[in-house]
Amino acid sequence: FLMRLHSCGLLTEGGNGLSECHCANASVLLYSLVQTAVANNLEPFDYLKYLLTALPKLGRHYKPEALDQFLPWNLTEKIKPLK
């Protein structure tokens, strides 16, 4: 997710030159994450907050399997459920 935001230009310095396409792509990614949280009965804000704080700790080089721990069904103990 963060790599996609970076490639869309949202995490670059100055980020003022975003095209509508880039903003639409970022919106779709964000909406997808929110709906994934809801579909798995997780509080969306807490899910996003967790992802945005924990994913950068993986660093730049990691094995794809390392992302399994961030799948919503693996986070039911760490993130509160929807009310």
Six token digits for residue 35: 């709906």
Provide the pLDDT for residue 37: 95
Is this prediction's pTM over 0.85? no
What is the DSSP code (8-state) at residue 14? T
- d(C-alpha 24, C-alpha 11), whole Å: 15
Span of 9-13, 14-18, 75-79 with lowest mean pLDDT: 9-13
Does residue 7 carry a pLDDT above 90?
no
Does residue 13 carry a pLDDT above 50?
no
- Buried b / exposed e across 13-24, counting CB within 10 Å, b at 16+? eeeeeeeeebee
**What mean pLDDT do residues 44-63 have?**
92
Question: Higher pLDDT residue, 11 or 51?
Answer: 51
Q: What are phi and psi of 42, to 5 degrees?
A: -110, 150
Provide the pLDDT for residue 10: 47
Bridge partners of 6, per DSSP, are none
Six token digits for residue 48: 């996003």
